[in-house]
């Protein structure tokens, strides 16, 4: 039996394999109010999954009339990208950015319930921006 039993390109995959979850924030679709906005539209990452790593893709730099902050979370506050002002890293330039889980045991995130990828807008509303979050996770395996 191979070590990696199954993989998928997007969404959720077969139990026990590696999977990729993709969430997209678009100001034009999701608005920019100070709030927590689910990006997948469902709790697509199963309970007991282990988020191993991934990346953040800033397609259009977020803007705000105030000093907005953005965080990305799945299981708990700031577990994927810690809250940071949009005037600085990772939000102030386009391109691929690092996230907190970096394929190590110390940084992996284990879900305690079925979860969605969420963006958390704080301090002030956004007025523009498009961001994608790509996460690689291992589905829970029966003991």
Number of independent structural domains in the chain: 1
- 86 inside domain: yes
- 11 inside domain: no
Q: Which CATH number covers residue 109?
A: 2.60.120
Q: Over the stretch 9-25, which tens digit does the pLDDT of each residue have? A: 444 444 568 999 999 99
Q: Over the stretch 37-86, which tens digit does the pLDDT of each residue have? A: 999 988 999 999 999 999 999 999 999 999 999 999 999 999 999 999 99
- 4 inside domain: no
Q: Confirm whether pTM is higher than 0.85.
A: yes
User: Can you give the residue range of the structural domain that contains 128?
Assistant: 18-138
* Per-residue confidence band for 141, with pLDDT thresholds at 50, 70 and 90: confident
- 12 inside domain: no
pLDDT of residue 1: 36
- 103 inside domain: yes
- CA distance linking residue 47 with residue 105, whole number of Å: 18
């Amino acid at each position: 039996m191979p070590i990696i039993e199954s993989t998928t390109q997007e969404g959720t995959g077969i139990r026990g394999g590696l999977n990729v979850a993709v969430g997209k924030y678009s100001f034009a679709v999701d608005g920019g109010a100070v709030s927590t906005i689910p990006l997948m539209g469902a709790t697509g990452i199963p309970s007991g999954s282990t988020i191993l790593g991934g990346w953040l893709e800033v397609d259009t730099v977020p803007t705000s009339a105030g000093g907005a902050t953005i965080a990305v979370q799945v299981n708990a506050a700031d577990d994927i990208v810690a809250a940071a002002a949009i005037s600085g890293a990772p939000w102030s330039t386009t391109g691929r950015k690092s996230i907190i889980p970096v394929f190590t045991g110390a940084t992996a995130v284990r879900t305690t319930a079925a979860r969605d990828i969420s963006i958390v807008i704080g301090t002030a509303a956004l007025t523009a921006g498009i961001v994608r979050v790509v996460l690689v996770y291992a589905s829970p395996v029966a003991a």
